[in-house]
Amino acid sequence: MLDFLCRTPDIRDIRIFAEDGLITMTDPTARQAEAMAAANEDTAGDTADPIAEAKREALEFKDKLLRTLAEMENLRKRTEREVLDARVYGIAGFARDVLAVADNMHRALEAIGPDLRDAADPKVKALIEGVELTERELMKILEKNGVQKFSPQGEKFDPNFHQAMYEVPTSDQPPGQVAQVIQAGYMIGDRVLRPALVAVSKAKAPTSANDNPGLGRQ
């Protein structure tokens, strides 16, 4: 094996190896430059990647922040809506039970005709007036808590607010109208607490000549 060092005109040391008939020249300075260039490339890559990574993380954090803010806003609105619903509709079950008492009181008062009221003795009249006063006070309390009474007499039948009990043939109203209110309905807020029980008008069948023998005779 042959190994010797020679100096080139540009003052670089080149080591020459001769082994098995092959001559190899190595330039330590060139190898160092290549190593430094590779290190610079690695350093440049390391310098660029953290910036890109920081930008990517910033975008991810921004997206997460926006999503979190949107979820918090939705939660706030949903909570406000639930609180409002609880305040307005929380008594729906209780109010529906109270309506049964109000209906019984109203039916009891309707059963007392004017003749019976006039003929009653003072104690009975006082009792009737007490029941009327109680009914009015009960309705005031219901209205104070958002319960409103409605009577759809003469209105167009609406299955969302009315419950049809039967049909009434009539020529005084167009078909599909509320011809009679059997039981008043109630609303709580913008919801139906109890639909009104109604009779719905329908077209009256025309009278034929056979139904009236006097018709058609000359």
Q: What is the pLDDT of residue 155?
A: 92
Q: Decide if pLDDT at 217 tops 90.
A: no
Give the separation between CA 65 and CA 71, rounded to whole angstroms: 10
Nearest CA to 188 out of 120, 106, 101, 92 is that of 92
Backbone angles phi, psi at 213, to 5 degrees: -60, -25
* Position with higher pLDDT, 43 vs 5: 43
Q: pLDDT, tens digit, for every residue of 135-167?
A: 999 999 999 988 999 999 989 999 999 999 999
- pTM of the full structure: 0.58
Which of 21-25, 96-100, 156-160 reaches the highest mean pLDDT?
156-160
Q: What is the DSSP letter of 208?
A: P
The answer to whether the Cα torsion of 161, 165, 167, 173 is positive or negative is negative
- Cα separation, 143 vs 138, whole angstroms: 9
Tokens of 195: 């639909």
- The Cα–Cα gap between 171 and 195 comes to 26
pLDDT of residue 5: 47
Neighbouring residues of 79: CB distance < 8 A, sequence distance ≥ 6: none
Is pLDDT larger for residue 122 or for residue 42?
122
2-23: average pLDDT: 47
